[in-house]
Amino acid sequence: MKTMKVRAPEPKMETISQKQRLTVSELALLAIASAVAFSLRIYGIDWGLPSPTQVHSYHPDEITVIGPTLHMNIFAGEMNPHFFNYGSLFLYAVYFARLFAEGYGWLDLTPFFKAFSIGGWLGVSESIQAVSEFAKLHLLARWLSALCGVGTVLLVFVWARKLANGWAAFIATILLSAFPMHVQHSHFATVDVPLTLLTTLALYLAASADNKRKILLAAFVSGLATAIKYSVAPALWLALAVLWAWRVNLTTMLLRLTAITFAMSAGFLLGCPYSVLAFNEFWRDFHWETFVHSRIGHGYVFAETGNGHWFHLTVNLPAAVGFPAILLALAGILPISSPAVHEDPRVENFRRRTIIVTIVFALAYFVPLGFAQVRFARYLMPLLPILALWASFLWMKTRWRKLWQFGAIATAVYTLLCGVATTSLFAPPDPRDEAAKLLADYMRKVKPLTIALHDLPWFYTPPFCPMNGGMKTKSDFDAWKVTATFNIVLIKFDLNELVASDANLFVASDYEYGDPLRLKMGDVIRLYDWLYARSRQIFVFRKEPKLPWSDEPFRWYFRPLPHDMRYVNPIVKVFVLR
């Protein structure tokens, strides 16, 4: 008698692309994370906009993004930004958003162009309508940045959910939603948050790619990211190369590396076409930013700050995300405890590819970064979604699972508090505005009045002079001084010049005196010793991050905030000399 062998039906394998739709609970988690991300990024988004008292915003780099878009005109074929310290893609995004806003009547820059053509920045400051429309353009660009920030949060949710589950994705998105630096820079019309969106998208596409077409799409998006900021190009290229051109024969490797390079080049040229069409201009700025600025440093700002990698790890990164989030991300990516093995080998392959692409990119991006002499915290921005993603790996740990999950929840709550405290810095009053009120009182009471400054008014200067663009508004500042009702003297760090000026007030910001005093420069120490000894009164205007229910400062950082995380809260001192 023959026995029949019955084959058990093979279990249906769920591929990544076929993974079930979001459940109701996951939709709720996504809605909460989206609301948190959106709220933290639009609260105070109108901070420090141009006004009749300050023709430039309180962020020093926004004019470098806004300015090139003012002379673009697609209808006249003039799309050369004439500025290539960054790529052009985000500048084009701002320009086309401006066209859309003008087309619907939300924005009208005609008064601005008219005032500027007649009187330069001085003419703009004298026209309420002109400066108001200019402020709207800043706000429009800030909204683009904020939406890019929210988009990155949503992308991390999708990615982390495929790696683990909805709750892991929720933790990752709450972390990224509330990382202080990501929250803060999503308020700014600058390139770093849009760059991070495209970098994250490129890495996600690479991890998801299972054929040539998809990996080349990832390479194309990598090119678009490079068209926003050049510094990510080598790390993205290497991540794609390791993922697709590793462990194949030499001929195949060369063909694949060539394909990746061509696809990245296509994306870059689409987003930055004048890198070829105006090569001399492009090379001028690219060479300066890449090979000169990174070597000579940024004035006194990063002088004698030691090893660059250590500076980023101990000063910039803790301020950017907080120490608990760093530890959580490391616990997620390091082989601590046992990761759960998914029943679907394709999901396991996706996890493996995610680990490879994120680690390769993080190392290839961070290692060169530490050798540069310019060490802004914002340069770490593309790594923030990766840290949030690594933290979600904790949900795949099997040993001590409850402990890991409790730690993840506690860290997410703490990081959320950090994000909320960060937004408090965007709420009025700003230290510069408070100092300007004091100076206005002196202008009414004391005549003639002489105010001494270190240098030209810039973003950190109280807005008692509307020409606050530093060297960008120098000629306008000179014209404004002719009709000003008080006198301004620029003394650098010269004590003799201050004494000779017979100034009534001396006004300074920590952006001016902080690093020279840290470096113990003799003339600066003598100047401030004299100021503290001879001043009749000293007013200090400062602002600390706080939670809504407390008046006590909430500090998640153990050292002073990095240079580019203090744009919203510089310390301003007013020394009353006579």
pLDDT digits (tens, 9 = 90+) for 356-380: 999 999 999 999 999 999 999 999 9
Residues 242, 360 contacting (CB under 8 angstroms): yes
Would the pLDDT of 188 be above 50?
A: yes
What is the four-CA torsion angle of 244, 248, 249, 252, rounded to 10 degrees? -30
pLDDT at 335: 72
What is the four-CA torsion angle of 214, 219, 225, 226, rounded to 10 degrees? -170
Averaged pLDDT, 286-312 = 94
Q: Which amino acid is at 267?
A: G
Burial class (CB within 10 angstroms; exposed 0-12, middle 13-18, buried 19+) of 368:
middle
* Nearest in space to 376 (alpha carbons), one of 308, 453, 472, 323: 308
Alpha helices, DSSP H, located in 425-464: 431-445
Contact residues for 469 (Cβ-Cβ < 8 A; gap 6+): 55, 56, 63, 121, 458, 476
Give percent of the chain with pLDDT exceeding 70. 95
Phi/psi for 300 (5° steps) reads -85, -5
Q: Which amino acid is at 214?
A: K
Q: Look at the block and give the residue holding tokens 């008080």.
A: 486
Assign 491 to helix, strand or coil: coil
Q: Which helix (H) or strand (E) holds 516?
A: helix 510-518
For residue range 196-235, list pLDDT tens digits in order.
999 999 999 999 998 899 999 999 999 999 999 999 999 9
Pairing between strand 505-509 and 450-453?
parallel
Confidence of residue 9 (pLDDT cuts 50, 70, 90): very low
Residues 484, 473 contacting (CB under 8 angstroms): no
For residue range 224-263, list pLDDT tens digits in order.
999 999 999 999 999 999 999 888 899 999 999 999 999 9
Extract the tokens encoding 16. Answer: 């990544």
Total residues found in the chain within this entry: 578
For residue range 103-125, list pLDDT tens digits in order.
999 999 999 999 999 999 999 99
Would the pLDDT of 7 be above 50?
A: no
Residues 237, 265 contacting (CB under 8 angstroms): no
* Nearest in space to 140 (alpha carbons), one of 183, 116, 109: 109
pLDDT at 341: 56
For the chain, count helices (H), then strands (E): 25, 5
Q: Which amino acid is at 197?
A: L
Buried b (16+ CB within 10 A) or exposed e, 462-496: bbbbbbbbbebbeebbebbeeeeebebeebebebe
Confidence of residue 578 (pLDDT cuts 50, 70, 90): confident
Q: How far apart are CA 33 and CA 25, in angstroms?
A: 12
Would the pLDDT of 22 be above 90?
A: no
Q: How far apart are CA 89 and CA 268, in angstroms?
A: 9
Would the pLDDT of 5 be above 70?
A: no
* Distances from the Cα of 439 to the Cα of 100, 148, 462, 478, angstroms: 41, 39, 9, 20
Would the pLDDT of 562 be above 50?
A: yes
pLDDT at 405: 86
* Distances from the Cα of 307 to the Cα of 293, 365, 375, 520, angstroms: 17, 16, 10, 20
